[in-house]
Every structure is written in structure tokens, then in C-alpha cells.
């Protein structure tokens, strides 16, 4: 079985795949300083609850946007599962796409993994909209190559910044407002954040397509994707498993290369 690890700035997702079948998935906060032993004990307990033995894990793959976490994640795979992992972004890992931007080394691993999965599933050209710590718009051409994108502050990050910078504005939960015009502070904040983001999504997807010069399929993923997909018709597909499927595809591609060099 394959252990796929997607380490983001806010959360780390661990998933176990048996072929194409996702057997289990768990999510943990991406706390700095968490050791391989801490993660190993936690993960083994969760696997035991699903009647999975550590020996069942024979392969692993990691995508991380937190460089400091890679060492312990790699150690976790080695020590607790005996599975030396592929690490997305390392030179020997073939993604099956070209990164056609000025500084390819700066692209987050998660964005490239999403591009791989989106191209395989939906073809292209594509805009992959990921609601994470940052909200990213990634452009994938019809050949599956990564063409760049847009990075905006994430929804929760914007809410926190608004609360921290303005003494009289409280923390609020993100949610779809009943009206555009708020009759009190909290409804006004919810309207500004939620409908402001909807307007940003609609405006940026239109501008990206105008600049790209062709209609594009828009795929949304990430924790808050479903909340915004229901509010606009510019998003064509909601795909919460996109990153994990990309890891599965990259692992499959590289495993095939090892078998048939």
C-alpha cells in the first residue's frame, strides 16, 4: 500500500491507498517542530483503528510546502514503515509536465501536484483554484504544462488580519450572507469577506482567460472550495481529492519508470 502525505502550511493530510482505492485519510495541524516519532505514534494508532498494520505500507510519497517538515516526514516513512519516500520537487521525481515560468524552483509542490491531477482528469486548458492558507489560481495548458498563476491571501487569513488590525471588528466565521448589505458589524464583515472572495474568483478567472486567450475549465479544491463553488457558476468542478490523486499519479508514473528504466 501507498502512504501519500500532503503537507500544507495549515494542515497535513495522510492517506493510505491500496491501488486506486483510498482506504483511509487523516488530517493533522502542520505544527512546526513535530518529530517523526510523534507523527509515527499518532499515525500508527489511527491505522490500528482501521485494522491496518504498519507492514502493509510498502511505498510513500510526500509533497510539502513547508521545507522544515520534509526531514521528519521522510524519517517517518523510513523508520515507521520502511518505505523510502518520493519527495515531489526533488530532481529524480518525474512529474510528467513542464514548468514554463521564470523561476520553476519557486512553485509550491502542491500546485504542481494539483496540475498533474487536474490535467489527467479534466484535460485542458485549466484553472485550478485551491482554497488553502493562500488562495491560488494555477494555469495548466492543454498539454498539461504549468504556466503560472495568481496567489491571493486565503479566506481565513483575511478574516484574521481584519480582526487583528481593527480593534472593534470581532472574529467571525466564514459563511454565505443572506444579504449583500449588512445591518450590523458581523453581517457586514461576512458579506465583505464571502462576496468579496466570490467577486475576486469571478474577476480573476475572467482576466486569466482573457490573457490566456481561450476558454478554460475551472476546478476548485481545498477546505473551503465547496462553500464558494455553490455561489458562482464560473467554477465547473469541485474536486476535494485533487492533490491526493495527483500524488497517486506521480507515484505510479515514477514506479513505472523504476520498473522500465
Q: What is the pLDDT of residues 187-225, one digit of tens each?
A: 888 898 889 999 999 999 999 999 999 999 999 999 889
Q: Please give the average per-residue pLDDT across 1-29, as a whole number.
A: 93
Q: What is the pLDDT of residue 240?
A: 92
Q: What is the pLDDT of residues 71-127, one digit of tens each?
A: 999 999 999 999 999 999 998 899 999 999 999 989 999 999 999 999 999 988 999
What the chain holds in terms of domains, given with CATH numbers, is: 2-87 (3.30.420.40), 110-246 (3.30.420.40)
Catalytic residue flag (residue 110): yes
Residue 229 has pLDDT above 90, yes or no: yes
Q: Please give the average per-residue pLDDT across 121-137, as a whole number.
A: 93
Q: What is the pLDDT of residues 64-85, one digit of tens each?
A: 999 899 999 999 999 999 999 9
Q: What is the pLDDT of residue 25?
A: 94
What long-range pairs does 168-177 form, CB within 8 A, spacing at least 24? 174/224, 174/227, 175/227, 176/227, 176/230, 176/231
Q: pLDDT band at 260, cuts 50/70/90?
A: low
Q: What is the pLDDT of residues 17-43, one digit of tens each?
A: 999 999 999 999 887 778 999 999 999
- Is 110 annotated as belonging to a binding site? yes
Q: Which of 110, 138, 141, 239 is catalytic?
A: 110
The residue written with cell numbers 461576512 in the block is 190
Contact between 89 and 6 under an 8 Å Cβ cutoff? The reply is: no
Q: How many residues does the chain have?
A: 261
Q: pLDDT band at 233, cuts 50/70/90?
A: very high
- Is 7 annotated as belonging to a binding site? yes
- Is 109 annotated as belonging to a binding site? yes
Q: Could you tell me what percent of the chain has a pLDDT over 90?
A: 71
Q: What is the pLDDT of residue 163?
A: 67
Cα distances (angstroms) measured from residue 65 to each of 89, 103, 110, 219: 10, 16, 7, 21
Q: What is the pLDDT of residues 48-69, one digit of tens each?
A: 999 999 999 999 999 999 989 9
Which run of H or E residues covers position 126?
strand 126-131
pTM higher than 0.95, yes or no? Answer: no
Name the phi and psi angles at 165, rounded to 5: -90, -20
Residue 243 has pLDDT above 80, yes or no: yes
- Is 12 annotated as belonging to a binding site? yes
Amino acid at each position: 500500500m501507498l502512504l501519500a502525505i500532503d503537507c500544507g502550511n495549515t494542515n497535513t493530510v495522510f492517506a493510505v491507498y491500496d491501488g486506486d482505492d483510498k482506504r483511509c485519510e487523516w488530517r493533522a495541524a502542520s505544527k512546526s517542530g513535530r518529530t517523526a516519532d510523534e507523527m509515527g505514534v499518532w499515525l500508527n494508532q489511527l491505522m490500528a483503528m482501521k485494522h491496518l498494520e504498519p507492514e502493509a505500507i510498502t511505498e510513500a510519497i510526500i509533497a510539502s510546502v513547508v521545507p522544515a517538515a520534509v526531514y521528519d516526514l521522510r524519517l517517518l516513512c523510513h523508520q515507521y514503515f520502511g518505505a523510502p519516500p518520493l519527495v515531489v520537487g526533488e530532481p529524480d521525481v518525474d512529474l510528467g509536465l513542464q514548468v514554463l515560468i521564470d523561476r520553476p524552483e519557486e512553485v509550491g509542490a502542491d500546485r504542481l501536484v494539483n496540475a498533474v491531477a487536474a490535467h489527467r482528469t479534466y484535460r485542458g486548458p485549466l484553472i485550478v483554484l485551491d482554497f488553502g492558507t493562500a488562495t491560488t489560481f494555477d494555469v495548466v495548458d492543454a498539454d498539461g504544462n504549468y504556466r503560472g498563476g495568481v496567489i491571493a491571501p486565503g479566506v481565513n487569513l483575511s478574516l484574521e488580519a481584519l480582526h487583528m488590525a481593527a480593534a472593534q471588528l470581532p472574529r467571525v466565521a466564514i459563511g454565505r450572507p443572506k444579504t449583500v448589505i449588512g445591518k450590523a458589524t458581523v453581517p457586514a464583515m461576512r458579506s465583505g469577506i464571502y462576496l468579496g472572495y466570490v467577486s475576486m474568483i469571478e474577476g480573476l478567472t475572467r482576466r486569466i482567460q482573457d490573457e490566456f486567450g481561450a476558454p478554460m475549465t475551472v476546478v476548485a479544491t481545498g477546505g473551503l472550495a465547496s462553500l464558494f463553488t455553490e455561489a458562482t457558476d464560473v467554477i465547473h468542478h469541485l474536486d476535494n481529492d485533487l492533490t491526493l490523486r495527483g500524488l497517486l499519479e506521480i507515484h505510479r508514473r515514477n514506479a513505472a519508470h523504476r520498473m522500465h528504466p
